[in-house]
Amino acid sequence: MQGTSQNNPTTNGDSPLKTTTWGARLALLALVTLLAAGLSFADGKKHKLSKDLATLKGGHHGATVDVIIQFNETPTDAHHQKVHNKGGVLKTKLNVIKGAHYSVPVESLQKLADDPDVAYISPNRPLTGTSTSTLDYTRETVNAQVALQQWGLDGTGIGVAVIDSGVTAVGDLYWWIPSNQTYGSRVVYSQSFVPGTTDTSDLYGHGTHVAGIIAGAGWFSTGSNFTHTFTGIAPNANIINLRVLDQNGVGTDSSVIAAIQTAISLKSTYNIRVINLSLGRQVYESYTLDPLCQAVEAAWNAGIVVLAAAGNQGRNDSAGTEGYGTIAAPGNDPYVITVGVMKTANTPTRIDDTIASYSSKGPTAYDYVVKPDIVAPGNQVVSTLAPNASLLASPTDVYLSEYTSSTTTTSSGGNNKNNKKNTLSTVATNTISTSYMRLSGTSMATPVVSGAAVLLLQQNPNLTPDQVKARLMKTASKTFPASSSATDLATGTTYTDYYDIFTIGAGYLDIAAALSSNDVADAPAVSPTAVYDPSTQSVYLVTGTSVVWGTDALWDTSVVWGTNVLNGTSVVWGSSVCWGASTNDGFSVVWGTGVVWGNSSDQSSSTAQSITVTGEN
Question: What is the percent of the chain with per-residue pLDDT over 70, rounded to a whole number?
Answer: 76
Buried b (16+ CB within 10 A) or exposed e, 371-392: bbbbbbbbbbbbbbbbeebbbb
DSSP 122-175: EE--EEEEE-B-----HHHHTTTHHHHHHH--S-TT-EEEEEES-----GGGEE
How far is CA 197 from each of CA 193, 201, 577, rounded to the nearest angstrom?
A: 8, 11, 51
Question: What is the percent of the chain with per-residue pLDDT over 90, rounded to a whole number?
Answer: 53
Decide if 414 contacts 364 (C-beta within 8 A): no
Q: Where are the domains of the chain?
A: 2-20+128-384+439-609
How far is CA 568 from each of CA 207, 371, 476, rounded to the nearest angstrom?
A: 39, 19, 18
* Structural Rg of the chain based on CA atoms: 23
Question: CA 543, 548, 552 angle in degrees (round to 5)?
Answer: 100
- Whether the predicted pLDDT of 410 surpasses 60: no
- Residue 96's identity, in one-letter code, is V
How far is CA 331 from each of CA 14, 287, 375, rounded to the nearest angstrom?
A: 20, 10, 13
Q: In the predicted model, what is the mean pLDDT of residues 280-291?
A: 95
C-alpha 143/C-alpha 152 separation (Å) is 14
C-alpha 377/C-alpha 350 separation (Å) is 10
- Residue 546's identity, in one-letter code, is S
Alpha helices in 412-554 (DSSP H): 442-459, 465-475, 501-504, 511-516
Q: In the predicted model, what is the mean pLDDT of residues 74-103?
A: 97
Q: E strands within 290-431?
A: 305-309, 337-343, 354-355, 374-377, 381-384, 397-399, 409-410, 425-426
Query: What pLDDT, on a 0 to 100 scale, did the predictor assign at position 54?
Result: 83
Decide if 74 contacts 98 (C-beta within 8 A): yes
DSSP 422-445: SPPEE--TTPEEEEEEEEEEHHHH
Per-residue pLDDT reduced to its tens digit, 224-233: 888 889 999 9
Number of Cβ within a 10 Å radius of residue 607: 18
Per-residue pLDDT reduced to its tens digit, 257-277: 999 999 999 999 999 999 999
Query: What pLDDT, on a 0 to 100 scale, did the predictor assign at position 568?
Result: 38
C-alpha 37/C-alpha 189 separation (Å) is 40
Q: In the predicted model, what is the mean pLDDT of residues 272-293?
A: 96
Least confident residue range of 31-35, 72-76, 350-354, 609-613: 31-35
- Whether the predicted pLDDT of 344 surpasses 60: yes
| Listed residue (468, 474, 164) closest to 336, CA to CA | 468
Per-residue pLDDT reduced to its tens digit, 486-498: 887 778 888 888 8
What one-character DSSP code corresponds to residue 220? G
Question: CA 196, 201, 206 angle in degrees (round to 5)?
Answer: 105
Decide if 127 contacts 281 (C-beta within 8 A): yes
Which CATH number does 2-20+128-384+439-609 carry?
A: 3.40.50.200
C-alpha 458/C-alpha 451 separation (Å) is 11
- Whether the predicted pLDDT of 2 surpasses 80: no
134: Cα separation from own chain's centroid: 24
- Output the average pLDDT for the chain: 81
Query: What pLDDT, on a 0 to 100 scale, did the predictor assign at position 11?
Result: 31
Query: What's the whole-model pTM score?
Result: 0.86
